[in-house]
Amino acid sequence: MKQIAQILFPVSVPEPFDYVVPPSMKLGLGDFVYAPIGKQVKLGVVWGVRNAKQKDEERSLKFVAERKLCRPLNPGMLKFVDWTAKYNCALQGQVLRMVIRSYKALDPSPLATFFRKTDVERPAGLSAARKRVLNVQGIWPARASEIAKAANVSASVVRTMAGVSGLLEQFSAPLDPPFDIPNPVHDGRQFALTDKQKQAGALLAELVRQNEFSISLLDGVTGSGKTEVYLEAAIQALKQGGQVLILVPEIALTQAGLKRFRQAFGAEPAQWHSNMGEAARRRVWRECAAGRAKLVIGARSALYLPFADLQLIVVDEEHDTSYKQDEGVIYNARDMAVVRAKFAGASIVLASATPTLESLTNARTGRYEHLILPERPGAAVLPKIDLVDLKEHKPESGKFLSQPLIDAVTDALSRDEQAMLYLNRRGYAPLIICRACGERLKSPDTDSWLVEHRRTGRAMCHLTGFSMPMPSACPECKTEHALHPVGPGVERVAEEAMALFPDANIEVLSSDTAQNPERIRHLMEKMAAGEIDILVGTQMVVKGHNFPHLTFVGVVDGDLGLAGGDLRAGERTYQTLVQVAGRAGRADKPGHALIQTHMPEHEALQALAEGDREGFIGAELAMRELLGLPPYGKLAAVIISAPDGRKADEFARKFLAKAPRTEGIEIMGPSEAPIAILRGRHRRRFLIKAEPNVNLSSYMQVWKSRIRPPNKTKLQIDIDPQGFM
C-alpha cells in the first residue's frame, strides 16, 4: 500500500508537508530525508508515516527523494520540538532549525592525516627547523599545519620528517575525535561533603537511579556547595551509562565550574555555546546523537542537542535571565528544560541561591522536590550586609563612591584582603549630554542613548551594537568640547577607585574588557590568586566565581533595576544583590557588603539588610497574588513593529479588534514600548494577563491566526515575558 510521509523542514514553516514514500524506501519517525520543496531539494525530518487515503490519491504529491543513512531523531525529541513550538507560538520549522545546527554532523567524521613522534634516535647534524619540530610540546598527535605553526616551520618540513628519516609517524584518524569518557568513580573531590550535602546529594542520586522523570529545586545560600551536591546526581547518571546536560547562564563565565568537572571525572566536558566554530559544533552534535558525549556543559541552546540517552539535566543559577531567548524562537530555557526532561524520562535539578518565585512556589506546594542548603560549609559564613543611604552620605560632586564605601575598601586593603565594586553598567557613562544645547546623543534609528566608552574612545549603543568615535563637538549645535558624561559606568568607577587607591592593583571585568574566555580565565585566576586588589565589574562578576581572599563587596547603585515598569523589578534586584554580596567571605574570613541606595526603605533592600528572605518572599508573593501575576496568573507580551509609527498604530488597532472574547483574559495596550524605536522600527506593545486555568498559548495562537501582518510589519509573541523593553 502507498505510504505518505509527513516531513518537517528546518525553515520557517508552520507544520510538516506530505510526500509519497517510494515503494523501495522504508521510513520511520525521526529519519532524515531529502525532499523537494519549492524549486529545491532540502533536508528534512520524517514527522510521521501513514497509509495513503482516498483523498491522497487526488492530490499531486511529490516523492521523497532520498533517505539519509544516519541515526534518526528519537521520538522524545520530536515531541519536544512540537511542544516548544506550540507553547511559545513559534513555527515548528524554526524550532527544528534550533535542533539541526550542523548539517555536516549527520555524516561520520572525515578522516585526516596526523603525525606523532617516534622513538627513532635523533641523527647528528639535524637541521634547526627539524629540531624545532621535535621540541614542540603539548600538541601530539597533530596535523601538519598545527605542528608547523607551533614550530614556526613549513608544513613540508613536518611531512618529510615522516618519510626517510622516520622521526615522525604519519597515520589517519577521525578529524573529530570522540570526547574522553568521564569516570564516575574518579576521586577528584577537594573536600568532604557535610552531612546536609550528603543527604541532598543522596536524594538526587536516588531520583536519577529510578530512571524516571523528576524535578528538584536545590535551594542553597551562596557558597553552600550546590555544585558538589548535584555532582552526586551526575555521578549516578554516568554510572548508569546515561548522558548529563548541565546548563549554565553564560559558558564563558564558568571556567571555575569546568575545572571542577574535570577534577571530578578526570575528563574534559563537551561544551556547547553560540561562539563555537563549525568544526566544534558538528563534533558535539554528532557525539551527543551517538550517545558518546556523556557530559555536556552548555548555554541555553544546548537543550536542543539530540541526546541519545539523556538521564539528568541541571539548570544552574535557574533564576538567571540569560536563560530567556528573546530573538527568533522566544523561549525560557529553564521552563523548556523541565519539558525536555519529561519527554526524556530524565531527572532535572534547578539550582539557585535565589530561586524564582515560580520555582519556589512549585517546590513549596509539592510539585518539585525541595532540597535546602541553609549554610556554608566549614568556617565560612554569610556576609554581613548594610545599606548606605545616599541622601545622608552623598559622594563628592562628580564622584560616585560614598565615604562609608571608601572606608570599607580601605579597611579590606589594610588587611591584605580584596574588594569588589559592582555596577551593572558597561562603559564610562550611560548618557552623553551637550551642556550648550541639552542634546542627548542617541543611536541612529533607535530610541536609546549612546554610552561613552573612554577606554576605546567610542560612543556605543548596547541595544544595536552601533559604534562611532566619540565626537569632539555636539552633532546638533556644533559646540566644541560641550559633550559631558552623565552618570557612572564601570570604567568611571574604576577611574575614581584608581584616584582613591593609587597603589592598588585595579582591574575591570565587563564584556567590553573581557571579550573571550581566555581573558576571563586570566582575570579570574589573578583574582583567585590574590593578585588583584580591587575588581570593578558588571554582572559578569556575579556568576559562580569563588574568590577566597575577597572579603568586601560594594554595590555602587543598589537602585539600578528598581525603576521602570518591570513587574519583576523587586525580585530581580533582590536576586542580583544576594548573588553579588555572596561573593564576599567564601573562605574562612568573614565577608561584608555595602549597598549604596537612595531607597533604603524598599522592601527588597530591607530584606537584604535584615537577612529576611522569607519576609521579602512573603511580601512579593502577596503583591503578585493581589495583581494576578505569576505564579498566580500567566503573562504574554506582543510586540508590533513597523517602519513608521502610523503603520504600527494602525496594525495594533486592527490586531486588538481581532482578540478572541474569553473570560479570564485581560488585555493591556497597545502602547509605545519603553524603547519606542529600535533599528528604525517603531514598536507598540500589548501585555496580556490570564488566570491560571486559561491556556494562554492556545489563546495567543488563535488570536495570531486571525490576522496577517502587512508587508514590513512584524508581530512577535512572548509567552511569560521576562523583560519589558
User: Using one digit for the tens of pLDDT, what is the confidence trace for 215-269?
Assistant: 999 999 888 889 999 999 999 999 999 999 999 987 665 666 677 888 889 898 9
Q: What is the pLDDT of residues 400-454, one digit of tens each?
A: 999 999 999 999 999 999 999 999 899 999 999 999 999 999 988 888 899 999 9
The CATH architecture of the domain made up of 634-719 is 2-Layer Sandwich (3.30)
Q: 646-654: which pairs have CB atoms within 8 A and are 24 or more residues apart?
A: 647/682, 647/710, 647/712, 647/713, 648/682, 648/683, 648/684, 648/713, 649/684, 651/709, 651/710, 651/713, 651/715, 652/684, 652/686, 654/707
Measured CA distances, 108 to 35, 141, 173, 177, 557 (Å): 22, 21, 12, 11, 53
What does the alpha-carbon distance between residue 644 and residue 177 come to, in Å, rounded to a whole number? 52
Mean pLDDT of the chain: 91
Give the per-residue pLDDT at 317. 93
Residue 682, H or E segment: strand 681-690
pLDDT on residue 256: 63
Contact, 130 vs 148, CB < 8 A? no
Per CATH, the architecture of 3-74+96-100 is what?
A: 3-Layer(aba) Sandwich (3.40)
Q: State how far the Cα of 292 lies from the Cα of 305, in Å rounded to an integer.
A: 13
What are the tens digits of pLDDT across the range 442-475? 988 888 899 999 989 999 998 888 999 999 999 9
> Within a 13 Å sphere around the CA of 93, how many CA atoms are in the beta-carbon half?
15
3-class DSSP state for residue 615? Answer: helix
Q: Is the peptide bond before 404 cis (omega within 30 degrees of 0)?
A: no
Question: Which ranges constitute the DSSP H helices of 488-612?
Answer: 490-500, 517-528, 569-581, 603-610
Please compute Rg for the chain using Cα positions: 29
- Residue 523, phi then psi, degrees to nearest 5: -65, -40
At the fourth CATH level, which superfamily is domain 379-425+488-629?
Answer: P-loop containing nucleotide triphosphate hydrolases (3.40.50.300)
Query: CA 377 to CA 130: how far, in whole Å?
Result: 54
Give the separation between CA 14 and CA 92, rounded to whole angstroms. 5
C-alpha cell at 3: 505510504
Q: How many CB atoms lie within 10 A of CB 112?
A: 14
Cell numbers that stand for 591 in this block: 565577608
Residue type, 396: E
Q: Which sequence spans correspond to the domains of the chain?
A: 3-74+96-100, 111-174, 195-373, 379-425+488-629, 427-487, 634-719
Q: What DSSP character marks residue 464?
A: T
Q: Is the peptide bond before 590 cis (omega within 30 degrees of 0)?
A: no
Domain 195-373: give its CATH code: 3.40.50.300
pLDDT of residue 378: 66
DSSP string of 485-500? EES--HHHHHHHHHHH
Local structure of residue 440 (DSSP, 8 states): B
pLDDT along the chain (725 residues), means of 10: 93 95 95 94 96 84 94 96 98 97 90 90 87 91 93 92 85 90 80 89 97 96 90 96 94 67 89 88 95 95 96 96 93 98 98 95 96 80 89 94 97 95 93 94 89 93 90 94 94 96 94 75 86 92 78 92 73 88 77 93 90 92 93 96 95 97 95 89 96 97 96 95 78
Cα–Cα distances in Å, from 266 out to 130, 188, 225? 34, 7, 20
Q: How far apart are CA 358 and CA 339, in angstroms?
A: 15
- Three-state DSSP state, 550: strand
Segment 494-518, tens digit of pLDDT = 999 999 999 999 999 888 877 677 7
Name, in order, each residue with C-beta under 8 angstroms of 160's C-beta and a sequence gap of 6 or more. none
Handedness of CA 159, 161, 162, 164 (dihedral sign): positive
Contact 252, 520 (CB under 8 A): yes
Query: Do the domains 634-719 and 3-74+96-100 match in fold?
Result: no
